[in-house]
Structure 1
Amino acid sequence: MRKILTTLLIAMTMAVMMPANAQVEGMTREQFREYKEAYLKQEMRLADNVAERFFPIYEEYQDKKQKIYSETQALMDKADVATEAEYKEIIRRLRALERAGSNLEDEYLQKFKTVLTYEQIFKLGKAETKFQKHILKELTRSKNSRARK
């Protein structure tokens, strides 16, 4: 069971790959969050009262996850022109960020369990992956339609 939950939480982590300040077809960050919440709520079939309790926790989790992702990206960018000693430090810091991400997942799994059933937590991982694919498809479609003009 723990392996399944860990796999789901890793899938949820991948959702961070969409930058927090991303604008999809003119959406503000807040509009994007609302769009994502509506999508997840529908996919997970959350009742309004559950969604009201869940999404503040989820957004807090997403913000913390985004911070770890940003720090990781900054280190990866810095690694393009580093000395051997700097690479050693970068690797040490990347490993620390991996542990921080894993600890964050464990922490928020506990918080999610106070609001969601295990089935809903499972569906969250699937819904996030489906949402990512949906957004990438929309962005590709939009890009292709602009290229044809």
Structure 2
Amino acid sequence: MKKKTMLRKLLIIGAVWSCLSCFSLTALPPQKPRISPEEFRARQKEFLIQKAELTPEEAAKFFPVYFELQDKKKAINAKAWKQVHQGKEEGTTDAAYEQIVEDVIQARIASSQLDLEYLKEFKKILSPAQIYKLQRAEMKFHRHLFKIMHQAQKKK
């Protein structure tokens, strides 16, 4: 008799625990999955091709060079962001802040220098008008992303 009562209590506790677990999972806000870097690039490429009116041949030549530039700029920016985050640590000295500020500015200069270098490569592939359209399309794409992210934040 005691075994049946004990078993019944364990079953009830297990059922209650399962129900609570299910309710707590449904109470969590749904997490929007982040897009992978590959998906981001695919969307960016599609957007830029459309807005700059690139032919498939032009796109095939242009985007390997474009993404090479983006990878180099990403590495520069990652280093700068790492330093910016170090500045958030308590006890950061004025000398450290000064170095962080200078390094961030140097990263911007290096990034701009890369843009100028790669412009020469872009000119071998595209017309000046297409390069201009690409620059505008790139700005629109980033604005569009910020808008989507802002809307997602509002929904939370």
TM-score by length of structure 2 reads 0.69
Identity of aligned residues (%): 33
Q: Which of 118, 123, 146 is the aligned partner of 1:108?
A: 118
Q: Does 1:97 align with 2:103?
A: no
In 2, Cα distance between the equivalents of 1:133 and 1:48? Answer: 25
The Cα of 1:37 is off from its aligned counterpart by 0.2
Q: Any residues of structure 2 matched to 1:125-136 within 5 Å, and which?
A: 125-136=135-146
Q: Does 1:44 align with 2:52?
A: yes
Match of 2:133? 123
The Cα of 1:98 is off from its aligned counterpart by 2.6
> How many residue pairs are counted as aligned between the two chains?
123
In 1, Cα distance between the equivalents of 2:98 and 2:150? Answer: 38
Q: Does 1:67 align with 2:78?
A: no
In 1, Cα distance between the equivalents of 2:33 and 2:47? Answer: 16
Where structure 2 has 5 or more consecutive residues not aligned to the other structure, the ranges are 1-31
Structure 2 CA distance for partners of 1:99 and 1:25, relative to 1, 3 Å: same
The Cα of 1:63 is off from its aligned counterpart by 0.8
The Cα of 1:79 is off from its aligned counterpart by 2.1
SS at match of 2:125: coil
The letter for the 1-side match of 2:64 is P
Give CA-to-partner distance per residue, 1:83-130, whole Å, 9 cap, x none.
122233323323332321121111111111111111111111110111
Match of 1:30? 38
Where structure 1 has 5 or more consecutive residues not aligned to the other structure, the ranges are 1-23
Higher relative contact order (CA 8 A, sep 6+): 1
In 2, Cα distance between the equivalents of 1:89 and 1:26? Answer: 33
